[in-house]
Chain A
C-alpha cells in the first residue's frame, strides 16, 4: 500500500464500498446455547480496501472471531426480518453463495491463520503447507503442479526461516515455528485476503513480534489484504486501520461503513 493511500486513511478518508475488496453490512449473529440465545454481533458494517491491513480490536467475547469467520465464509450471518445482512468480496455477495462456492472462496481467495496454529499433527511441515493446494486443485490438478507447489511451499518456509524443518512434524516445533508454518499454509494458494485470528496470542512477546514482522513483510511485498483480530493494542498500533469492536458493535463511528484509523501508521 502506498503512502498516499495510508495518508488518506489516517485523515479519516473515505473508503467507499465500491472501492473495497471486502464489504460487511448490517451483519448480525446469534448463537444458541441450549435454549438460550446469545447475540454476538449487532449489525456490523465494515469495509476493507485492497492491500489494506485492518485490525479488529476487542476484548474477549466481543465477537471479533465470529466476525472473522463470517468474513471467511466459515459461517453465515443471521437472516432476521428487516435486516439485510451482506458480506461482499470483490463485489460477490457471499451470503447468497452455495456451500460449494464458499468452499471454493475459502480455498482460493482466503488464507486463515489461527491463534492455536491448527496444524495437522500427522503431517510433516511441508505437507501441512501443501494441503491447502491439494484441497484447492483436487487430485488431478494437484498432481499436475505438485512439484511447483512443493517448491513454493519450500520457498515460503525457507523465507520464514524453516528451511531446515521441512520434514519435521508439528510436535517437534516451537510455538513460533508452528505459527510460521500456519502462515505459510495460509499463503500457499496466493490468497487475496489473509484473515488472522490472534496470530500472536499464544506466543511470548518477542516471538509474537517476530511473527508479526514476518506477516507485515510478506504483506507489503505481496500487496496482500489483511484483517487481523487481536486484543493487543501494541499490535493494533502497527495496522493501517483499527476497528474497535465492543459487545458486537463497531465502536464510536456513527456511520460504521467508514472507519477511520485512530492511530498513526506504523
Chain B
C-alpha cells in the first residue's frame, strides 16, 4: 500500500522521474515512428511489387511453352483461381526519341486479361483523375486541367487497349506502354507528379523548333529483340517501331525505369513464339528398307519424307490471380496440380511437371531479392534504433540509482517502521514500471500522432525551416507511409515498460539490501 502512495508522490514531486518519463516517451515514440514508417515503406514496396505480377506465375523463360490457352482454361475453371493471363518477358534494346539506346525489359501482355490478373489499369499514369495528389496543393497536375480531359480520356483508353490511332491512316495500331521513367523525358515535379518534356530543337536552317513531347500523344520508340532458338542460340535480331499508348507507374523505380509493355502477339512475332507451320522429317513407312543420302551430311540414312505440322504459339509466363479467401501457398500448390494434369496431356510438347516444379512461383518468390533487401534494411534500422533506445535502460538505471541514493534515508525510515526487503524492492520496481507505463503511454500516443500526421508535420517543417527530408522529386513514394500497426504499437509499449522495469531492478536490489541502520544515519 505504502508503495503505491510513495510511487505516486515520487512521480509527481521530483524532476528526475519526469526526465526519465520524457526519455522513455521519446524512445518509445522514436521506435514506433521508425518501425511504422519503415514497415509502411516495405508494405508499399511489396504491394507495388505485386501490382504487375498477380499472385502466382508459371515461368519457363526464353523458349516458353505452348498450349497456354488450354492451360488458362484449366486454371480459370478451378474455383481457387480467379483469372489467368499469358505473358512473355524478355530483354531488348529501346531507341528513345532523343536517339539514346537503352537496355529494357520487354513484357508482352494481353491487355484485357492482364488487367484482370494485375493492377495494370491502375498503374497507367496518364488518365483523368478526380482530385489532386496529396502533395499537389496548388492543383498543378496536368491530368486535372479541364483542357486536357479529352486527351487523358483518350490515352487512358489507348493504354487499356494497348492501341493508338495512326494519324496518317486513322487506323488503330498496336502500341506499347512505357514505364514512366524510361524515356527520362517526363519531368518529375516537386509534388511527385510528371510533366512531359518541352524543349527547343535546332533546325538545319538555323531556326529553332519548340518541341512538346508527350509520348502517349505522338511518341514512338524503336524496339530490338534477339530471339533465341530452343538451344538458347541467338537467331536474327528483329526491330520494330512502336507507338506509345500510355505510360505506367508501378511504384518500383527499377521497373518503371526499364520496362516497356507491348501487345503479346507483337512480341510473339518478334521472338518467333507465334503459331507457325513446322516441317518435320518422318520415316517413310511405305518401304521400310528404302534408303537415301542425307543432303546435309552426305551419309546414307533411311528414306525420310516431309510432314507439315503446327507449332502452337508460346509464352514464357502465365500469371495467375487467386480467388478471394485462399492462401497464397494453397493457390500455388493448386496451380502446380493443374499444370501437372496439363503436362500429362501434352507429354513431350510442354515442359514436364517435374521440370516445372520449381518454376511455379508466388509473387513473393519473384520479388524475393527486393523484399528481403528492404526487410533487411528495416531490420537494420530497427536494430540501430533499438540499440539507441536501449540506452533508456541505463538512463532509467542511472536516474533510479541516483534517486535510490537520494532516498537512502527514506529506505531506513521505512525499514524502521517494519517495511520488508521485498517490500522496498517492490517500491522501486513499481516505480520503474510506473515511469515505464506513463512514458510508454505518452510515447505510444506521440508515436501514433506523429505517424498519423507525419506528412502534415513534414510539410510544416519544410515550410518553416526549409528542410525537406522526404522529397517526392527524389523519392518514389509521394507520401511518407502513415499507418500504425496496433500490434507493433503494443509490442513497443510492452518493451518500453519492460525496459524501465529492467532499469529499476538493480537499484531495487541495492535498496532492498541496504542496512537500515546505515540508511538511517545517511546524510
* Cα(A24)–Cα(B520), bound, Å: 23
Q: Kindly specify which of A53-61, A118-126, A160-168, A212-220 makes contact with the partner chain.
A: A118-126
Q: Do residues B5 and A132 form an inter-chain contact, with CB atoms below 8 A? A: no
Q: Nearest Cβ in chain A — how far from B416, in angstroms? A: 5
**B residues in contact with A134, CB < 8 Å:** 1-2, 5
Separation of A75 and B85 alpha carbons in the complex (Å):
86
Q: Given A120-B6, A123-B9, A134-B5, is A103 in contact with B416 using a C-beta cutoff of 8 Å?
A: no
**In the complex, which of the residues B1, B9, B417 contacts A106, with contact meaning CB atoms closer than 8 Å?**
B417
| B279 close to chain A: CB less than 8 A | no
Q: Which secondary structure characterizes the binding site on chain B?
A: helix
User: Cβ of A143: which chain B residues have Cβ within 8 Å of it?
Assistant: 1
- Name B's A-contacting residues (CB within 8 A): 1-2, 4-6, 9-10, 13, 409-410, 412-421, 423, 515-517, 520
How distant is A183 from chain B, measured CB to nearest CB, in Å?
13
Is B418 within 8 A of A118, CB to CB? Answer: no
| B-contact 0/1 string along A130-141, CB 8 Å cutoff | 011011111100
Q: Is residue A107 within 8 Å, beta carbon to beta carbon, of the partner chain?
A: yes
**Closest CB of chain A to B238's CB: distance in Å?**
86
Q: How far is the CA of A100 from the CA of B515 in the complex (A)?
A: 15
Q: How would residues 73 to 111 of chain A score, 1 for a CB under 8 Å from any chain B CB and 0 otherwise?
A: 011000000000000000000000001100111111000
A-B contact count (CB 8 A): 73
Residues of A contacting B520 in the complex (Cβ-Cβ under 8 angstroms): 74, 114, 118
Query: 17 new A-B pairs (CB below 8 Å) besides A134-B2, A138-B1, A139-B4?
Result: A66-B517, A74-B520, A100-B420, A103-B418, A106-B415, A106-B416, A106-B417, A106-B418, A107-B417, A107-B418, A118-B416, A120-B410, A120-B413, A131-B414, A132-B417, A135-B417, A143-B1
Q: Which applies to chain A's interface (DSSP): helix, strand, loop or mixed?
A: helix
Could you list 18 examples of A-B contacts with CB < 8 Å? Answer: A69-B517, A74-B416, A75-B515, A75-B517, A99-B420, A99-B421, A104-B418, A107-B419, A112-B416, A118-B413, A123-B6, A135-B2, A135-B417, A135-B419, A137-B1, A139-B1, A139-B4, A142-B1
- Give the residue of B1, B5, B420, B516 whose beta carbon is less than 8 angstroms from that of A74: B516
A199 adjacent to chain B (CB < 8 Å):
no
Tell whether A127 is near chain B: CB-to-CB under 8 Å: yes
Give the chain A neighbours of B415 by CB distance below 8 A. Answer: 74, 103, 106
Q: Residues of B contacting A123 with CB < 8 Å?
A: 5-6, 9
Once bound together, how far apart are the Cα atoms of A106 and B516, in whole Å? 12
Contact, CB under 8 Å: B5 / A131: yes
Which residue from A74, A104, A119 sits with its C-beta under 8 Å from B517? A74
B418, closest chain A residue (CB)? A107
Residue A185 at the chain B interface, CB threshold 8 Å:
yes
Q: Which residues from chain A contact B5 at a C-beta distance below 8 Å?
A: 123, 127, 131, 134
Q: Report the minimal beta-carbon distance from B315 to chain A, rounded to whole angstroms.
A: 74
- Write out the residue numbers on chain A whose beta carbons fall within 8 Å of the beta carbon of B418: 103-108, 132, 135-136
Query: Residues of B contacting A108 with CB < 8 Å?
Result: 418
Q: In the bound complex, how far is the Cα of B517 from the Cα of A137, in angstroms?
A: 23
B433 to chain A, nearest CB (A): 16
* CA A122 to CA B415, docked complex, whole Å: 17
Closest beta carbon of chain B to A13's beta carbon, Å: 33
User: In the complex, how many angstroms separate the beta carbon of B409 from the nearest chain A beta carbon?
Assistant: 7
- A57 CA / B5 CA spacing, docked (Å): 38
What is the distance, in angstroms, from A132's C-beta to the closest C-beta of chain B? 5
Q: How far is the CA of A74 from the CA of B515 in the complex (A)?
A: 9
A122 engages B419 (CB within 8 Å) = no
Q: A residues within 8 A CB of B517?
A: 66, 69, 74-75
Contacts of B416 in A (CB 8 A): 72, 74, 106, 112, 114, 118
* Contact of A118 (CB < 8 Å), options: B409, B420, B421: B409
Nearest CB in chain A: distance from B515 CB, A: 8
What residues of B have a CB within 8 angstroms of the CB of A74 in the complex? 415-416, 516-517, 520
Smallest CB separation, A23 vs chain B (Å)? 21
Bound Cα distance A118, B522 (Å): 11
Contact residues in B for A137 (Cβ distance below 8 Å): 1
Question: Nearest residue in B to A108 (C-beta to C-beta)?
Answer: B418
A122–B413 contact, CB under 8 A?
Answer: no
CA distance A175 to B423 in the complex (A): 30
Q: Are A122 and B417 in contact (CB-based, < 8 A)? A: no
In the complex, residue of chain A having the shortest beta-carbon distance to the beta carbon of B516: A74
Chain B: CB-nearest residue to A122:
B9
Chain A residues whose CB sits within 8 angstroms of the CB of B1 once the complex forms: 134-135, 137-139, 142-143
Give, as a whole number of angstroms, the nearest-CB distance from B155 to chain A: 73
Give the most central of B9, B10, B413, B417: most A CB within 10 Å: B417
Residues of A within 8 A of B13 (CB): 122
Within 8 Å CB of B421, what residues of A? 99
The answer for the CA separation of A114 and B516 in the assembled complex, in Å, is: 13
Query: How long is the Cα–Cα vector from A75 to B521 in the complex, in angstroms?
Result: 13
A143-B13 Cα distance, complex, nearest whole Å: 24
User: How far is it, in angstroms, between the C-alpha of A66 and the C-alpha of B517 when the chains are bound?
Assistant: 9
The smallest beta-carbon distance between A178 and chain B, in angstroms, is: 13
Residues of B within 8 A of A118 (CB): 409, 412-413, 416, 520
